[in-house]
């Protein structure tokens, strides 16, 4: 296990790029339909706060994820092709029909997502991994033919039924295959939150040695409270792109007990304290998180948006 221990002299990257997934991963878990106005206003507020990337929606069947039934309307009200205030806007796609919808909605940045564990693939897409991979390859080629950048996301990389039940060699083989197809990046999802810092280092090192210059992105659910610890471990291995979710919203409709991604404002605060630049306005994100909580009359697990509000209320006028 010595190969997975941190380097005590590891040099942290100067900058990190965060992709905000709350408008998709976060909103999809809410039972009450969120008005399209709230979704679009939240996306605009996050772009204004300096998020370099935002995943704005997913093109899934409304029978399975009713919250995303306004995907086309959300995209129609945003500059999907050109971006927003310097922010790249993307949509999540799980199948060929979803890709068709995303292209028709003007998406130029496509986030494809497939399972790496057969049980999850059957639960999530009703097909074994081999079939999902074959379909995924076709979708990558089609999207690239249309001039789109494509990120390939692998689900449950760090465990589905139990930690480590997805063979690392299998993940590496998939990553190599899609890197050779010219995807813009490879995203590794800890969908169940079963990952730990040692596993993060092992997986990141294996992929880094296999896919060359293709960027690695980490999508870390905080189900077991290890999200930020896992993020730091990956950061020390040189990963500079991470998905986060405002206020820690989110989960997965097809994974019982899954909670949200690491909170955007908590991540920004952590990176700021470590001297790693994000270019993101912490107070701007925190304000957006509080507005979402107010609109939904809910409380989410992120910490800094509430702490900053408390500190502000204690400051003398």
Residue among 25, 65, 20 at smallest CA distance from 43: 20
Q: How far apart are the first and last CA of the chain?
A: 55
Identify the sign of the CA torsion 66, 69, 70, 71. positive
Tokens of 17: 């790029």
Report helix angle 282-296 to 36-48, nearest 10.
Answer: 170
**Could you tell me which of 92, 61, 52, 63 has the C-alpha nearest to residue 75?**
92
Burial class (CB in 10 A: 0-12, 13-18, 19+), 144: middle
- In sequence order, what DSSP letters do the residues of 31-45 get, joined into one string? SSPPPHHHHHHHHHH
CA distance linking residue 56 with residue 35, whole number of Å: 14
Place of tokens 């097909």: 127
Q: Is there a catalytic annotation at residue 148?
A: no
Directed axis angle between helix 304-314 and helix 282-296, to 10°?
100
Q: What is the C-alpha separation between 219 and 261, in angstroms, rounded?
A: 7
Neighbours of 316 (CB within 10 A): 3
Q: Which residues have C-beta within 8 Å of that of residue 184, sequence separation ≥ 6?
A: 149, 150, 151, 215
Contact 60, 20 (CB under 8 A): no
Q: Report the catalytic residues.
A: 252
């Amino acid at each position: 296990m010595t190969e997975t221990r941190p380097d005590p002299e590891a040099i942290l990257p100067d900058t990190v790029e965060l992709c905000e997934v709350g408008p998709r991963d976060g909103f999809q878990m809410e039972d009450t339909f969120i008005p399209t106005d709230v979704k679009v206003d939240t996306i605009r507020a996050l772009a204004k706060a300096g998020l370099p990337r935002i995943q704005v929606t997913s093109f899934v069947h409304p029978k399975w994820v009713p919250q995303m039934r306004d995907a086309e309307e959300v995209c129609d009200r945003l500059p999907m092709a050109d971006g927003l205030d310097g922010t790249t806007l993307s949509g999540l796609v799980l199948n060929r029909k979803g890709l068709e919808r995303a292209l028709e909605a003007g998406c130029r940045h496509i986030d494809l997502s497939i399972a790496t564990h057969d049980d999850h693939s059957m639960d999530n897409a009703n097909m074994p991994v081999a079939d999902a991979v074959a379909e995924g390859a076709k979708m990558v080629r089609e999207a690239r033919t249309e001039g789109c950048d494509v990120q390939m996301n692998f689900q449950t990389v760090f465990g589905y039924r139990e930690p480590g039940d997805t063979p690392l060699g299998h993940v590496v083989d998939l990553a190599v295959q899609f890197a050779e197809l010219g995807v813009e990046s490879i995203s590794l999802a800890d969908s169940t939150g079963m990952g730990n810092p040692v596993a993060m280092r092992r997986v990141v090192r294996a992929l880094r040695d296999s896919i060359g210059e293709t960027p690695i992105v980490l999508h870390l659910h905080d189900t077991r409270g290890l999200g930020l610890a896992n993020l730091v471990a990956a950061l020390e291995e040189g990963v500079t792109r991470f998905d986060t979710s405002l206020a820690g919203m989110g989960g997965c409709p097809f994974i019982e007990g899954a909670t949200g991604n690491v909170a955007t404002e908590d991540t920004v605060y952590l990176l700021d304290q470590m001297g790693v630049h994000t270019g993101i306005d912490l107070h701007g994100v925190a304000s957006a998180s509080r507005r979402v909580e107010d609109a939904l009359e809910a409380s989410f697990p992120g910490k800094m948006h509430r702490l900053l509000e408390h500190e502000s209320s204690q400051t003398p006028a």
